[in-house]
Every structure is written in structure tokens, then in C-alpha cells.
């Protein structure tokens, strides 16, 4: 195992900037998730770490030693690809043992390690099959096994679960987490799925347009998003985010949005000039008894997801979504009173968090 450090990685494809000034440190044994919408450069970054794509500038260090001059095969990393990329002409056993064979490991050792890994992943019954005779989930395991069998310094996983169906994905996600806590491996995991990122990652790196927007523990990223992009990208349903002005009204500050205003409490902020964005998560809005709330919203639509309900409402000229228990019953066009805990507000100025 090893720690990974990226320093100021930059990469262009022609005129397209794929990565710009990416810095990252992953501790030994840490599970790091690169999260971002498609085209944000996260896969490119993974390929740079693996050595498949040379970076234009910056360094990749494993255990504080630069590996920039090393070919992929000499970096001692393993990668699981989104499409699995198994070798179709080899059996499962050969697929698993290929990396060891290329490194000149004796045959008996290969057999031993392949068996170990296969039983770890529960694919020991499939060793003589060819990839085309496997189901999607089994192929995914073989792809994981091919990476695991070598016990490399670093695991790189490129959206390894995105081709599985939803139920299988949840299972494998759990297994992956258990596997990591058992093996204590350093993992860099790429995904566009925030649920994967939040559940798996010990460190989450949110990327956009080839740059890192925020790095931190999942709960930090969720509770203290650094900018409006992270705020809206993480969380489902999306954070309610409004643009408006902050007015000082005696001791309290008031946010004036489009068609509504709300008390934002005793904010110890320097008097702010100009526009701000104020946001709050759907679960931080409480429905209160009629007549006691300062915010009035009109119910527009209700989505029932089983375990809870999302109430889509209109407040002033804006939309507001809130989470309610599965027992909540509202009718469209009903007016409800809302209360928002001022401490849970996220305030951004020019897109950057200020509170």
C-alpha cells in the first residue's frame, strides 16, 4: 500500500482543458472518491495516475516518489475499468493470473493467489469459464479480482459499478466497503454517482471542468459545500438555492429573494454588498402549524418515494422542495407554513461559501 500525492496536474486535449492544477493527497489505506459530472476530467485524472495518459505538467507521487517517468506496468497500480475490459480469449483463471504471469511469478504461486482471490470474491466456481459465459455481476467480480490478485500499491476504479443493475449495485457497494476495511488498501474511485461517493468515500473530491472544487469527508462536503456547484451537485433532492440581497433590519438580517423574504438570523458577517445565494437542504425545512411560520409556500406536487415524500412547492417566484415523512398528506394548492433553522443556511457570495 502507498500514499498518493498529485501536484498541480494539468492536461489538455488539443484546445480542451481536461485537467487544470489538480492537487490531491490520498493517505495510505484511504478510500478516496473522485466525484463529478461526466466530462469533468475525473477519468482522465485516473488515467494520468495510472500512466495511461501522460500529463502536460505536474507530478504524480506514490509514497513521495515521483512515478512520472514510469510506464503503467512499472507503477504497481491496478485498475478496474467501467467496461471491465476482461481478456475475452482467456479463462477467468487466466484473466486473474495475467498480471502475475507478466511479472514472472512462479506458476504455483499464481495458482495459489488466483484461488485465494477467487474465493475472496466468491468466483472460485467460475475459474474455467470464459468471460462471455459470465453474467454482468460475475464479470464485474472478475475485473475486481484481476486488480486485487496482485496486491498493488494503489487501486484505481473507474465507475466499476455503473453497468450493474440497481439492486446488484447496492450489494456490491457494500461488499466493496467491507473489502476495503478488511484489506486496508489505498483506493481511488471514480464515479458520477453521489450515493456511491457518500457511502464509500473516506475522502470525497468533487471535480468540475478539470478542477477540484472541494475535498473533504463526505459529511463535510454535504454539510459545508464550498461553492454553489458542490451545494447543488451533492444531495438529492437538490438543495434549494436562491439569489437575492441581504438587508439589515435592526439586529436581524433578512434575505430578500424573488417574491419572498426570510429571516436569516444573527449572521456575523461583514455587511455584504450586492447579490448573494442562500441555500438550504430539503430536510432542513420544517413544516409548522398554520399561522406560526414566517414562510408560506403553496404545494405544487408531491413525489412519493416510499420511505418519505418530497413536497414540491412554490414560494414567491421560486421553487422550494422539502422532505416530509411518508405519513404527510397534502393537497396541491394547499398553503403550508415553513420554518427554517438559520444555522443550517448556506450562504454564497459570487458562488463561494461565506458562512
Partner 1 sequence: MGILFFVFIVAFPFYWMIVSSLRPLEEILMNPANLGLDIHKIDLSAYYDVLFDHGFVRYILNSLYVSIITAALSVALSTVGGYAVTRLRFRGQSFMSYSILIIYMFPAIVLVIPLYVIFSHMGLRDSINVLILVYLAQTLPVALYMLRSYFKTLPLEMENAGLIDGCTRFGVIWRIIIPLSAPALASVALYTFMIAWNEFLFAFMFLDTPDKFTLSRGVVQMAGSIHLSKQLVMAASVLITLPILFLFLFFERYLVRGMTSGAMKG
**Which residue lies nearer to partner 1 by CB, 51 or 244?**
51
CA 312 to chain CA mean position, Å = 25
**Per CB under 8 A, 52 contacts partner 1:** yes
Pairing of strands 187-191, 31-35: parallel
238: which DSSP letter?
P
What mask, x for binding partner 1 by CB under 8 A, covers residues 268 to 307? ----------------------------------------
Omega cis (within 30) before 12: no
C-alpha–C-alpha distance, residues 297 and 314, integer Å = 6
Within 231-284, strands assigned E span 240-249, 252-256, 261-263, 275-280
**Which residue lies nearer to partner 1 by CB, 171 or 178?**
171
Q: Which helix (H) or strand (E) holds 220?
A: helix 218-223
**Per CB under 8 A, 189 contacts partner 1:** no
Which triple of cell numbers denotes residue 64?
Answer: 513521495
**Which residue lies nearer to partner 1 by CB, 152 or 244?**
152
Q: How far is the CB of 100 from partner 1 (least distance, A)?
A: 8
**Per CB under 8 A, 153 contacts partner 1:** no
**Per CB under 8 A, 103 contacts partner 1:** yes
**Per CB under 8 A, 166 contacts partner 1:** no
Residue span binding partner 1 (CB under 8 A) among the ranges 1-9, 128-136, 205-213, 224-232: 128-136
Phi, psi (5° rounding) for residue 12?
-120, 145
Count Cβ atoms within 10 A of the Cβ of residue 190 and give its class: 0-12 exposed, 13-18 middle, 19 or more buried.
buried
**Per CB under 8 A, 71 contacts partner 1:** yes
**Per CB under 8 A, 29 contacts partner 1:** no
**Per CB under 8 A, 81 contacts partner 1:** yes
**Per CB under 8 A, 88 contacts partner 1:** yes
**Per CB under 8 A, 98 contacts partner 1:** yes
262: left (phi over 0), alpha (psi -120 to 50) or beta: beta
Q: Report the side by side order of strands in the sheet with 318-325.
A: 285-288, 335-340, 295-304, 308-315, 318-325
- Of these, 65, 87, 305, 344, which contacts partner 1 (CB under 8 A)? 87
In 3-state terms the chain splits into helix, strand, coil percentages (rounded to 5) of: 30, 35, 35
Count the site residues for partner 1 by CB under 8 A. 32
Residue span binding partner 1 (CB under 8 A) among the ranges 48-56, 204-212, 261-269, 301-309: 48-56
Binding site for partner 1 (CB under 8 A): 47, 50-52, 71-73, 77-79, 81-89, 98-99, 102-103, 130-134, 136, 139, 146, 163
Amino acid at each position: 500500500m502507498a500514499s498518493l500525492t498529485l501536484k498541480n496536474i494539468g492536461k489538455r486535449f488539443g484546445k480542451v482543458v481536461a485537467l487544470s492544477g489538480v492537487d490531491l493527497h490520498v493517505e495510505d489505506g484511504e478510500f478516496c472518491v473522485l466525484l463529478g459530472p461526466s466530462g469533468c476530467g475525473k477519468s482522465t485524472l485516473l488515467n494520468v495516475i495510472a500512466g495511461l495518459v501522460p500529463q502536460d505538467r505536474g507530478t504524480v507521487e506514490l509514497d513521495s516518489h515521483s512515478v512520472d517517468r514510469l510506464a503503467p506496468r512499472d507503477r504497481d497500480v491496478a485498475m478496474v475499468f467501467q467496461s471491465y475490459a476482461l481478456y475475452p480469449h482467456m479463462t477467468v483463471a487466466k484473466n486473474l493470473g495475467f498480471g502475475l504471469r507478466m511479472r514472472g511469478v512462479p506458476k504455483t504461486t499464481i495458482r495459489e493467489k488466483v484461488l485465494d482471490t477467487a474465493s475472496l470474491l466468491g468466483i472460485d466456481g467460475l475459474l474455467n469459464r470464459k468471460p462471455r459465459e459470465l453474467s454482468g455481476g460475475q464479470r464485474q467480480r472478475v475485473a475486481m479480482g484481476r486488480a486485487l490478485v496482485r496486491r498493488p500499491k494503489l487501486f484505481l476504479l473507474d465507475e466499476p459499478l455503473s453497468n450493474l443493475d440497481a439492486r446488484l449495485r447496492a450489494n456490491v457497494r457494500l461488499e466493496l466497503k467491507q473489502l476495503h476495511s478488511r484489506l486496508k488498501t489505498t483506493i481511488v474511485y471514480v464515479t458520477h454517482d453521489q450515493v456511491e461517493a457518500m457511502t464509500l468515500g473516506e475522502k470525497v473530491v468533487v471535480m468540475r471542468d478539470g478542477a477540484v472544487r472541494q475535498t473533504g469527508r463526505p459529511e463535510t462536503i454535504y454539510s459545508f459545500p464550498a461553492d454553489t456547484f458542490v451545494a447543488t451537485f451533492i444531495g438529492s433532492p437538490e438543495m434549494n438555492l436562491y439569489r437575492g440581497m441581504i438587508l439589515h433590519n435592526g439586529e436581524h438580517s433578512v434575505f430578500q429573494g424573488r417574491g419572498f423574504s426570510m429571516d436569516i438570523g444573527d449572521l456575523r458577517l461583514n455587511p455584504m454588498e450586492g447579490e448573494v445565494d442562500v441555500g438550504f437542504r430539503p430536510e432542513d425545512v420544517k413544516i409548522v402549524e398554520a399561522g406560526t411560520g414566517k414562510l408560506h409556500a403553496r404545494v405544487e406536487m408531491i413525489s412519493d418515494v416510499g420511505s418519505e415524500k418530497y413536497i414540491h412547492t412554490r414560494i414567491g417566484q421560486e421553487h422550494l422542495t422539502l422532505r416530509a415523512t411518508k405519513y404527510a398528506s397534502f393537497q396541491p394548492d394547499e398553503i403550508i407554513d415553513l420554518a427554517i433553522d438559520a444555522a443550517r443556511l448556506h450562504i454564497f457570495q459570487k458562488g463561494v461559501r461565506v458562512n
